[in-house]
Amino acid sequence: MSKYDGLIFVNKPRGVTSHDVVDVVRKRLNIRKVGHSGTLDPLAEGLLIMLVGTYTKKFSKFANFDKEYMGILKLGEVTSTGDSQGEVLKKSEYIHIEIKTIEEAFTRFLGDIKQIPPMVSALRVKGKRLYELARRGITVEREPRDIKIYSLKIEKYDLPFIEFCVHCSKGTYVRKLAEDIGETLGCGAHMVKILRQSIGPYKLKDAVELKDINEGCLRKITL
């Protein structure tokens, strides 16, 4: 095992892609063999685990971990991407919706559920990534996937904004969860903030900032 084998826990900032972070690690360590354990959208922030050297072979171990997110959704607007970076497609009233009704809607998504991946995801269908098709204005049918929501807790109301925390299985799309909650309430919704707080046992508090990445950040962990 070389000195450039290991993990780097990165606090990905909003506005950069996961591949941008890969490029930063490659340049800082002067090594090509770098990957990550699971994509965070440009809108999303938080924990991104970088796999360096022989640790790139351990992708499946990290991809299978549960994850925890803090998110803020906005009621009353449906967008083309399911987040605030997309075009607003529809606006609806939300003022009449009671807090009790919102809380009941959230509880409907606890446990084992099926979720249709969004068109703006990195999932491949017939060799093409969905977001690539979406950019070309192409929508394809997607099969529902089995996921599990272990916990889904509302932390704060500032309507139309709702801050919440979710602990979920691999394969869960938080933006789609927000859209489905909005659809259940009849007013639509989209995400304005997504922060990944943990991947399995690994926490955001242990991550380094993008500007601080160097070989001293590498961790060698037995899995």
| Residues marked as catalytic | 41
Can you tell me which residue has the tokens 């941008």?
20
Instruction: Specify whether the CB–CB gap between 133 and 139 falls below 8 A.
Output: yes
Position 140: which residue type?
Answer: V
Cα(76)–Cα(2) distance, rounded to whole angstroms?
Answer: 52
Closest CA to 117 of 150, 139, 135, 137: 139
Instruction: Specify whether the CB–CB gap between 50 and 21 falls below 8 A.
Output: yes
Q: Residue 183: helix, strand or coil by DSSP?
A: helix
CB atoms within 10 A of CB 36: 22
Closest CA to 131 of 55, 222, 19, 5: 19
Contacts 24+ apart (CB under 8 A), 135-140: none
Angle, CA of 117, 120 and 122, to the nearest 5°: 75
Cα(13)–Cα(210) distance, rounded to whole angstroms?
Answer: 8
